[in-house]
Amino acid sequence: MTWQRHVVVVGASLAGLLAAAAAHRAGCRVTVLERDVLPYVPVPRRGVAQGEQPHVFLHRGLLAAEQLLPGLEHRLEADGAVRLNTGRLPWLGESGWNPIGDQGYDILSSTRPLLEHAVRREVAALPGVRILDGRRVEGVRRGDGGWLVALAEPGDGAAAGEPGEPGDVGTADVVVDASGRSSRLPTWLAALGVAAAPVSRVDAQLGYATRPYTGPAGSGVVVQATPQEPRGGLALPIESGGWLVAVVGFGDDRPPRDAEGFEAYVRGLRDPSLARQLTRWTPAGEVSIHRQTANVRHHYESVRDWPPGLLVVGDALCAFDPIYGQGVTVAACQALELGAALAGTGSGRASARASARGGTRGLQRRLAGVAGFPWAVATGADLRFPSTQGRQSRAQAVTNAWARQLGTLAAHGDLRAATTLSRTYHLMGSPLGLFHPALLVAAARGRLAGLPPANPAPAALGRASSSAA
């Protein structure tokens, strides 16, 4: 096959790998540059600070990843990922237990290292794609034939790559920054004389603590943190018959690192179901914490002198509070948008050739647009917590209040409300679906005639749990 263009992707985490897959499908030759020396087996690595915390694709992200890498779902399951239907996962929301049924969507549950390893294996096998690890990018500049990428010398803060790999990546038609929260793109842009992009930041001061366990089969469970009860937790099945148990807390009530404090924190949740599960399992590792959780959005789409042929995706563009599970799904959807543009089949004029001639800014706006609704959801929810500085916009306040009303309907048996919330959460439908007339009627009926009894705790959890207020 003759590759028409050369795309360089900075970063070999999930956003970068999916962008590489998209560029490959568009007929491009792809070079992925990664600062870390990548492991040959699924283990945590330094460049993914949150790698030991729970990760899943929302259903929309799973579909997007499967479209980019056909057969990925099957191969992930063969590697040990566990398929779950979220409608059957016990979930204690702010208003009570969600109904158990088929209103949810399938996800695959695994550790982040297994997920990333499987995606990297698929991408590395694509013809015309090479992944060069141990390469730290120092900067980018425009040359006569395209973009030139400057790499640090081995030993200058970058690990050595594999023997025989060239240090020169050649000229790139398009450079995609997928280097995550630690992106140095603002510095590179300043060196190019490009105006700084505005940055939005909403920090709820969320802290994670996660520990792996082994033990008999049981039920996963989610106990959602709320502004009134700012502690939450979950247990999800993972590969090799294991479990990941995570707890979260906000502000001064973030979970500790030590094992004794971790288990005490689990026992302090507003419902005992997760603590009861823990008594049946055996710890399989140490507690890992993560506190780099602020929502941070770089508004590169608003930079008027944006350089042609330069693009940004993933956390380097918009990083979310990970409690909402949106990051990898948004990255997968951005990769689809990127691939469509590079192939000349996108929703606008941005083919790769057009991008190189100045259409990049329009594509960057569309990449930013993919993150727009998830950003509104994450920041709107975080701004309700006392640990967050700032206030919700009027639109966020109205939408959040209505979503809580739907959550109350769902907690009292309304399957339409539960299905709608699930569809919106998994990015499978327009947020306008939240305002379906039937839901408005159900809410009005509930206010006038009262609500049915609250859903009981799911039978899968065993003994009855306390219900939410």
Domain 5-55+111-202+294-376 - what CATH class?
alpha beta
Taking alpha carbons only, the member of 251, 245, 284 closest to residue 263 is 245
∠ CA 265-319-202, rounded to 5°: 70
**DSSP β-ladder status, 174-177 and 5-10:** parallel
Inter-helix orientation angle 59-68/72-79, to 10°: 110
pLDDT tens track for 206-223? 999 999 999 988 889 999
Non-local CB neighbours of 268 within 8 Å, separated by 6+ positions: 231
Determine the pLDDT at residue 18: 98
Non-local CB neighbours of 113 within 8 Å, separated by 6+ positions: 39, 42, 43, 44, 45, 51
| C-alpha separations of 343 from 7, 15, 22, 353 in Å | 12, 19, 9, 9
The answer to whether the 5-55+111-202+294-376 and 206-290 domains have the same CATH topology is: no
CA distance 414 to 250: 30
End-to-end CA distance of the chain: 62
Give the dihedral sign, CA 42/46/47/52.
positive
Determine the pLDDT at residue 317: 98
Determine the pLDDT at residue 355: 42
Determine the pLDDT at residue 154: 65
The low-confidence residues of the chain, meaning pLDDT below 50, are 1-2, 157-166, 346-358, 463-469
Per DSSP, what are the bridge partners of residue 309? Answer: none
Domain 206-290 - what CATH class?
alpha beta
The 10 Å Cβ neighbour count of residue 141 is 12
Q: What are phi and psi of 83, to 5 degrees?
A: -80, 130
Task: Confirm if 34 and 149 have CB atoms less than 8 A apart.
Answer: no
Determine the pLDDT at residue 123: 98
Inter-helix orientation angle 327-342/14-25, to 10°: 20
Task: Confirm if 34 and 132 have CB atoms less than 8 A apart.
Answer: yes
pLDDT tens track for 52-97? 888 889 999 999 999 999 999 999 999 999 999 999 999 999 999 9
Task: Confirm if 116 and 14 have CB atoms less than 8 A apart.
Answer: yes
**What are the extents of the domains in the chain?**
5-55+111-202+294-376, 206-290, 394-449
Chain center to CA of 79: 21
